[in-house]
Structure 1
Amino acid sequence: MESEEARRVNRALNKMGKLYREVKSRKLAELGLHPGQDVLLWLLAQEEGGMTVSQLAARLGIEPPTATRTLARLEKRELFRREPVPADRRQVRVVLTQEARRLVPRIEAVWDELAEEALGGLTRERREAVVEALEDAGDRLREQVAEAVLAEE
């Protein structure tokens, strides 16, 4: 890739990332949520019996202390409860409350709005091409992160 093209790619990705996060932040604020909390709640909603903090962190691709901090913010709103794990007294499962479950369709609606606002003006073929390109780029960057983590160990 030539230097000018590389700069254009970097500008576009940086600008898109910032704008996406800003619009998402504003929409989630209407639900009383911050970016990241939406994904955490959505993932928990997929598991009727809840998940341990370690399982949740692994699914989110974050460290357990980060998941714990996010949960601490959500706990103030009573969006989940902690239940003991019968096989391991040191562990607890995080289980969504009914109030949190009612939020999930609203979170999904925010995601639908964001997708429509970002790419809705494109044809189905162009949207598919954009999504494929972003997924491919994400896969390549994920490989680099994994390699860096292995090198540190």
Structure 2
Amino acid sequence: MDTSEAIRVNRALNKMSKLYRAAKARKLAALGLHPGQDVMLWLLAQERAGITVSELAARLGIEPPTATRSLARLEGGGWFRREPVPNDRRQVRIVVTEAGHALIPEIERAWAELAEETLGGVSAEQRENTLLALEQANDRLRGLVDPTVLTEE
């Protein structure tokens, strides 16, 4: 790839990353969430019996203290509760409340709207090609960075 094409790729990806995050932030703010909290809550809601902070951190590809801080910021919404883990006093299980489960369709709707607003104007073939190229690029980049970086979001 020559320098001018590399510059074009860098600009396009940087701009898209910033614009997508800003658009996502705007949609999530209407739900009382920040980017990243949507993914965390959605993931928690997939586990009806709840999961430990360590399990959550592993699924998100983050360190447990980071998961704990993120949960603390989410706690005010009443979207989950902490329950003791039987046989292990050091652990707590995070269980999504009914209020949290009620928010999941809204999160999914925000994601669908943003996807449509982002790629809805292109043909199904172009969309599929774009997604394949982005997924391949993500796979290559994942090999260049710490494997705990952005595994979910």
TM range (shorter): over 0.9
Name the SS of the counterpart of 2:82 in structure 1: strand
- RMSD of aligned alpha carbons: 1.3
Q: Provide the rounded CA distance (Å) in 2 between the counterparts of 1:11 and 1:102.
A: 38
Q: 1:38 aligns to what?
A: 38
Moved over 2 A (4+): none
Q: 2:124 aligns to what?
A: 124
Partner amino acid for 1:87? N
Deviations, residues 78-126 of structure 1 (Å, cap 9, x unaligned): 2111111113221111000100100000000000001000000011111
Q: 2:67 aligns to what?
A: 67
Q: Report percent identity of matched pairs.
A: 68
Q: Provide the rounded CA distance (Å) in 2 between the counterparts of 1:17 and 1:85.
A: 39
Q: Provide the rounded CA distance (Å) in 2 between the counterparts of 1:74 and 1:18.
A: 23
More helix, by proportion = 1
Q: Provide the rounded CA distance (Å) in 1 between the counterparts of 2:42 and 2:35.
A: 12
Partner amino acid for 1:72? A
Q: CA deviation at 1:133?
A: 0.6
Q: Provide the rounded CA distance (Å) in 1 between the counterparts of 2:72 and 2:32.
A: 14
Q: CA deviation at 1:77?
A: 1.7
Q: Provide the rounded CA distance (Å) in 1 between the counterparts of 2:33 and 2:146.
A: 30
TM-score, normalised by the number of residues in structure 2: 0.93
Q: 2:143 aligns to what?
A: 143
Partner amino acid for 1:65? P
Q: 2:80 aligns to what?
A: 80
Partner amino acid for 1:52? T
Q: Provide the rounded CA distance (Å) in 1 between the counterparts of 2:3 and 2:57.
A: 37
Q: CA deviation at 1:146?
A: 4.1
Deviations, residues 22-63 of structure 1 (Å, cap 9, x unaligned): 000000000000000000000011111111111111111111
What is the number of equivalent residue pairs in this alignment? Answer: 148
**Which structure has the higher relative contact order (CA within 8 Å, separation 6+)?**
2
Name the SS of the counterpart of 1:38 in structure 2: helix
Q: Provide the rounded CA distance (Å) in 2 between the counterparts of 1:64 and 1:133.
A: 32
Q: 1:6 aligns to what?
A: 6
TM-score, normalised by the number of residues in structure 1: 0.93
